[in-house]
Amino acid sequence: MSSNPPPPTSKQVQSAPADAPADAPATESTTARRESISQRSENSQTAADFIRDQMQLEADAREALPYSIENCTKPLGSLRQNVFACLTCNPPPHSPAGVCYSCSVQCHGEHELVEIFQKRNFTCDCGTTRFTSDQPCTLRINSETNTKGGVHSEPADPNNKYNHNFRNRFCSCAIDYNPHEQKGTMFQCLGLGTHEDGGCGEDWYHPGCLMGLGPKWYESSKGNSKSNRNGDGSLPTITEDGLPPDNAAVADGEDEEEEDDAPLPDGFPSEDDFDHFICYKCVDANPWIKRYAGVPGFLPAVFFNKGDGASSPKKRQRDDEDNVGDEANEAKRLKSEQTEQGPLVSSTPQDNTPGAEVAGNLKEESKIETEEELTREIACKLDSLPSASPGQFSLFVRDNFRDQFCRCSKCFPKLLPHPQLLEEEEAYEPPLTDEASEHASTHASGSIYERGESALRNVDRVRAIEGVMAYNHMKEKLKPFFEQFAGSGKAISAEDVKEYFAKLRGDQEAIQEAGEAAKADNRHEQSGY
């Protein structure tokens, strides 16, 4: 081994002058170490910075989860609400279960969840027999202990309906939904039936699957459309030298951006043209609704399979409008003929006395009203509509579609099982977090800063005064410590804090041990090994 000293490293300290004290290198090493630690304390922050960062994190959390998570919705009964399926507690193909918004965070926050969005007539399953007893609901009151949490094995609502969404499968293609791979928009059906009776149970669909093309129909035609035509449908332009024009690079960049959003198939309505839709499964389960395709409030039928010989949507719309116009003209002609014939005259002999004349008039008016009521009941809107088109198709509707349904004595019973066809549904939403924290006085809500203030207000007065005095005493002790760093602009390291509190305790032995440890580290670094 060479006797020459190794070359200096970045951790070495230069030799002290000859007249320096013997412990000068150790002192300088300790100072250099402290400065090095201070310089590396990039994550050091003041109390104000910490509070500000915490409040920003809580604000971000409220934006992602804006509603209160304090109460389970099971006591409220059956609701239209946001539902989540827990694949950790109920992995396929086990019995499915759904939980409410609050339970998805408080009881299953660390589990693998599937957001199913809104489901009607659903009661939260958390803490019921659809979950094991070791996965209780932490939000409801336990009837045995009269305390919050620990609720399990309660009977589940037998009226809850489940489909394959609770297994993270959506659409008629039954694809496992992955939000990171999913492109384009999926649409939720109004749901005119459950999975058991032939409907879909408010399933979500890809536009291509509604037309029988599959979820990724656009991938097969993407290459052809790019190679043969420009984005506006025109043929590509070639310059005299055979090179593409200068704007070709810009068009390619736009194509890459558009790849994130899957296009809509030809014949599929634009998202701005409809408010809801009813899938072909639910239409088949309720064939009476087929005749409304193309009437005001309803878009022309969107067929599941274009190869079934069905006419194009535009042609069907023109035919339907012609049929409706002809039948409307016929109805006007009949009404005109009835008007020309004059009012109906009763053949019953009438008395000429004034009392008999009044009674006869009342009887005649009552008869006319009865006939008008019968006429209204008989006049079914479906009689003026064209016959239903053959084949499977989905219905896309506008916001006024409910006003178009016939409500005669024959048709109204068909609407009763589907309240969503009679009026707009109201979905339950928990109160917003901000509103809950403003009116809450418990430690269970509000930000960390607000909880601290609330706890301080609830402290006994004597203890509060003692705490304030202790705080002031500590502040006076720490003030000189902070001032020395404030003057130099250096960050405070963990070693600085430990050393200062050791001095406050009078722990001189600990200080000496720390100094000796620093000397040992310094000698080890200078050895070069």
Q: Which residues contact 298 (CB under 8 A, 6 or more apart)?
A: 292, 395, 396, 397, 398, 401, 404
Asked if 388 and 284 count as a contact pair (C-beta separation under 8 A), the reply is: no
**Residue 493 pLDDT:** 82
Mean pLDDT of 248-267: 64
What single-letter amino acid sits at 135?
Q
Q: Which of 73-77, 183-187, 269-273 is predicted least confidently?
A: 183-187
Q: What angle (nearest 5°) sits at the alpha carbon of residue 233, between those of residues 232 and 234?
A: 95
Q: Look at the pTM and tell me if it is higher than 0.75.
A: no
167 or 442, higher pLDDT: 167
Please write the tens of the pLDDT for every residue from 412-428.
999 999 999 999 999 99
- Does the structure show a pLDDT above 70 at 210? yes
287 or 54, higher pLDDT: 287
Instruction: Write the DSSP assignment of 43-84 as a string of letters.
Output: T---HHHHHHHHHHHHHHHHHHS-B--S--SGGG-SEEEEEE
442 φ, ψ (degrees, to nearest 5):
-100, 170
Q: How sure is the predictor about 400, in pLDDT bands with cuts at 50, 70 and 90?
A: very high
Joined together, the tokens standing for residue 360 give 């006869």
Q: Which of 210-214, 312-316, 474-478 is predicted least confidently?
A: 312-316
Asked if 489 and 46 count as a contact pair (C-beta separation under 8 A), the reply is: no
- Does the structure show a pLDDT above 90 at 310? no
**Residue 56 pLDDT:** 82
- Does the structure show a pLDDT above 70 at 353? no
In terms of Cα–Cα distance, which of 133, 71, 124 is closest to 98? 124
| C-alpha to C-alpha distances, 473 to 122, 477, 494, 504, nearest whole angstrom | 58, 6, 22, 12
Mean pLDDT of 216-240: 59
Asked if 382 and 406 count as a contact pair (C-beta separation under 8 A), the reply is: yes
User: What does pLDDT average to over the chain?
Assistant: 75
**Residue 47 pLDDT:** 64
Mean pLDDT of 147-153: 95
CA pseudo-torsion sign 509, 511, 517, 519: negative
**Residue 502 pLDDT:** 82
Q: Where are the domains of the chain?
A: 74-169, 181-231+244-334+381-404, 493-529
- Does the structure show a pLDDT above 90 at 393? yes
- Does the structure show a pLDDT above 80 at 448? no
**Residue 439 pLDDT:** 44
**Residue 39: how many other CB atoms lie within 10 Å:** 11
* Longest Cα–Cα distance in the chain: 147
In terms of Cα–Cα distance, which of 193, 187, 251, 262 is closest to 222? 262
- Does the structure show a pLDDT above 50 at 189? yes
Q: What gap in Å lies between CA 153 and CA 238, rounded to an integer? A: 72
Highest mean pLDDT among 81-85, 245-249, 440-444, 468-472: 81-85
Asked if 267 and 306 count as a contact pair (C-beta separation under 8 A), the reply is: yes
Please write the tens of the pLDDT for every residue from 463-513.
777 777 888 888 888 888 888 887 777 778 888 888 888 887 776 665 566
- Give kind and range of the element (H or E) at residue 484: helix 461-488
- Does the structure show a pLDDT above 50 at 348? no
Asked if 304 and 394 count as a contact pair (C-beta separation under 8 A), the reply is: yes
**Residue 316 pLDDT:** 45
Q: Which of 113-117, 376-380, 409-413, 463-467 is predicted least confidently?
A: 376-380
Listed in sequence order, the DSSP H helices in 169-233 are: 207-210, 217-228
384 or 515, higher pLDDT: 384
Q: How sure is the predictor about 443, in pLDDT bands with cuts at 50, 70 and 90?
A: very low
Q: What angle (nearest 5°) sits at the alpha carbon of residue 111, between those of residues 115 and 137?
A: 90
Asked if 296 and 404 count as a contact pair (C-beta separation under 8 A), the reply is: yes
**Residue 402 pLDDT:** 97
152 or 362, higher pLDDT: 152
Highest mean pLDDT among 35-49, 260-274, 366-380: 260-274
93 or 83, higher pLDDT: 83
Please write the tens of the pLDDT for every residue from 35-89.
554 454 555 666 677 778 878 887 777 777 889 999 999 999 999 999 999 999 9
Q: Which of 167-176, 242-251, 398-407, 463-472 is predicted least confidently?
A: 242-251
